[in-house]
Amino acid sequence: MMNTDFRGARHATPLLAKAVPTAVLLVGAFYCLVPVAWVLAASSKSRSQLFTTFTLAPGTGLADNLQNLFAYGDGQYGKWALNSLLYAGVGAVLSMIVSTMSGYALAKYRFRGSSVVFFAILGGVLLPGITLAIPQYLLMSKIGIAGSVWSVLLPSIISPFGIYLSRVYAMAAVPTETMEAARLDGASELRMFRSIAMPMMVPGMVTVFMLQFVGVWNNFLLPFIMLSDQDRYPITVGLYTLLSKGSGEPALYSLAIIGSALSIIPLVLLLLFLQRFWRMDLISGGLKG
Amino acid sequence: MTTKDLNPPSRRLRRRGTAAPYIFLTPGVLLYVCFLLVPIVYSIYLSFQGLRLVSGGAFGHRQSTFIGLENYATAVTDAEFLGGFRRLAIYGIIAVPLTLGLALLFALLLDLGSARAKRFSRTAIFIPYAVPGVVASLMWGFMYLPATSPFSYITEKLGWGTIPFLQNPEIFSSVANIAIWSGVGFNMIILYTSLRGIPADILDSARIDGANEWQIATRIKIPLVAPALVLTGLFALIGTLQVYGEPTTLRPMTSAITQTWVPLMTIYRDAFTLDDLPLAAASSVVLALGTLVVSVILLRLTQKRAFGED
């Protein structure tokens, strides 16, 4: 960067100008990593070490804790992890497809009712989705699917924000000229979407997928309300049950801690991996439409 | 920044008679109707219902009937529900400005040429986004408990005693801290991406004119990313109004969080513990309307068309 040339004259201490911002950023990084360090240290402690040794010092009970965690309730933790993966993975893939199709239609076609649909979507963005969880539960009870996998999966597919972002991305990334040329060549509308628009929309799709995956993975109230069978719980609800039972049964504290530590590792890895592909300017730049 | 050169509406396709857009929209609209529209309408319908004793037979029976705004009157005069909004306000006043302020600070520092270790800091600050609120609350909860808190360990060694994280009034900052920890990174990335989108020649000419980094940040960068700030603020506010998982997870660890600590907890109790679904529906409608009103006021106040579209 050339800017130091201009700043040199104004700042007598360029070292300070470098050190202070770096130090502030490192303090922020430290703040964000402390709980992660704590949970990793705590998950290696045996039950007696948890409340007696220095809280950030590693213990000697990691193997035992892991064994206890996977033995708990006939391997319930493994089921919870798979359930989370199912709800978030399948939910986010379907959500991405539905959002891409809807966003593309709203961005690239003019048709009767398009503005009604668009404003309905915007209203949906502002509506706190969580306030819908109870009526969704009641309606699903009526048709008899409350408590099933579907009751968590189906509401996770619709994402007004995902549709909104897909529309923004389709407007920017799919040139109308290309579509017109393809149309003149006799391509069908469906083929045009599949072979021309979709490949151009991939970065936007990755972004929508990632936002929805994290959103569903982190969701607590919806599965908490919908599900009663512990074997269908996602990790968030499962860990909560361990913790709330823990006050009567302290052994479960260790399980909740190691369960938390394990559950954040795959998601952190996924985010670090996807970080290279997504387009966050979709969210920040989406305002300028 | 491809998202900037959006096609103006006039250049969109004008094709009469093609069914394609309707086909593409069918799954989205169908799901929207089933999981948003119908539940909203059902909530509103339910909120006007109430169980009343109907005379008939030997003893009469309880039957669901239309009772007008009675549930709403109960909801908005319920001390617990209103208390939840008051607690939510205290929590929000701590959490929202700090989340956005820190996110903006970190984003500006990342955008500064002179800072070092940027990749590491950016990744580290972003990591909490991957941690579910429940798991974050669980980790912080243990870090608040006197027996396992590293902070209380230090203050005890210094002879100051433990820090009462889980008591009133500290509990507000403690819950807010979990939200700040979870939210700073994501907002930082949005603002940082927005900062990266500022054309370099604007910044260069400011530097040639002798502006220092502080002036560039406050007079050029922040005004230019204002729309992104409004959007992150909006989502932070909506997120605040629907806080539920964090205080619920902390409940087993503290008596300072009651069963009705925030509005959604009251709604959950009314619906599933007290079995008063119509009241819960009315409270949900109040909460949803409150969120909409707050969002619209925020958008009006900032005079930014966050979703400015045709």
* pLDDT tens by residue, B9-20: 444 555 556 889
How far, in Å, CA of A245 to CA of A226, rounded?
20
- Asked whether residue A59 is domain-assigned, the answer is no
A81's CB contacts (< 8 A; 6+ apart) are A235, A262, A263
Name the residue of chain A whose CA is nearest to B109's CA: A21
Asked if residue A153 and residue A93 are part of one domain, the reply reads yes
Residue B48 domain-assigned (yes or no): yes
A55 belongs to a structural domain: no
Total count of domains within chain A:
2
Query: Percentage of residues in chain B with pLDDT exceeding 70?
Result: 89
Whether residue B113 is contained in a domain is answered as yes
For residue B5, name the pLDDT band (cuts at 50, 70, 90): very low
Percent of chain B beyond pLDDT 90?
A: 51
Q: Which domain holds residue B61?
A: 30-68
Cα-to-chain-centroid distance, residue B274? 27
Out of A1-15, A82-96, A133-147, B268-282, least confident range? A1-15
Region B289-310 average pLDDT: 72
Q: What is the CATH number of the domain that holds B270?
A: 1.10.3720.10
Among the partner residues A55, A124, A283, nearest to B190 by beta-carbon distance: A283
Q: Is the peptide bond before A234 cis (omega within 30 degrees of 0)?
A: no
Q: Do B148 and A163 touch (CB under 8 A)?
A: no
Residues A29 and A163 grouped into a single domain? no
- Do both A128 and A237 map to the same domain? yes
Residues 6+ apart with CB under 8 A from B89: none
Q: DSSP secondary-structure letter at B220? A: I
Domain extent at residue A24: 3-43
The length of chain B, given as a count of residues? 310
Please give the pLDDT value at position B8: 47
**Nearest CB partner across the interface for A284, out of B191, B249, B308:** B191
Choose the weakest-confidence range: A105-109, A119-123, B120-124, B300-304.
B300-304
The three-class DSSP label of residue B211 is coil
Same domain? For B167 and B218 the reply is yes
pLDDT score of B6: 45
- Give the model's pLDDT for residue B303: 64
Residues A32 and A80 in one domain: no
Number of domains composing chain B: 2
Query: Does A74 share its domain with A205?
Result: yes
| Interval B210-221 mean pLDDT | 90
* Residue A131 C-alpha, separation from nearest chain B C-alpha, in angstroms: 6
Lookup: tokens for B212: 């220092």
Closest CA to B266 of B83, B110, B109, B116: B83
Query: In 3-state terms, what secondary structure has residue A199?
Result: helix
DSSP letters, A14-27, are: HHHHHHHHHHHHHH
Task: Please check whether residue A52 lies inside any domain of the structure.
Answer: no
Asked if the structure places residue A145 within a domain, the reply is yes
Hey, is the C-beta of A216 within 8 angstroms of any chain B C-beta? no
Q: Could you report how far apart the first and last alpha carbons of chain B are, in Å?
A: 21
User: Are the beta carbons of B127 and A32 closer than 8 angstroms?
Assistant: yes
Query: How far is the alpha carbon of A63 from chain B, nearest alpha carbon, in Å?
Result: 20
Instruction: Establish if A116 touches chain B: CB-CB under 8 angstroms.
Output: no
One domain, residues A92 and A191: yes
The answer to whether residue A48 sits within a structural domain is no
Q: How far is B84 from chain A (nearest CA, A)?
A: 15
Question: The domain that contains A163 carries what CATH number?
Answer: 1.10.3720.10
Shared domain for B41 and B180, answered yes or no, is: no
| A63, part of any domain | no
Q: Is the pLDDT of residue A7 over 70?
A: no
Residue B67 reports pLDDT greater than 60: yes
Where is average pLDDT lowest: A39-48, A123-132, B28-37, B239-248?
A: A123-132
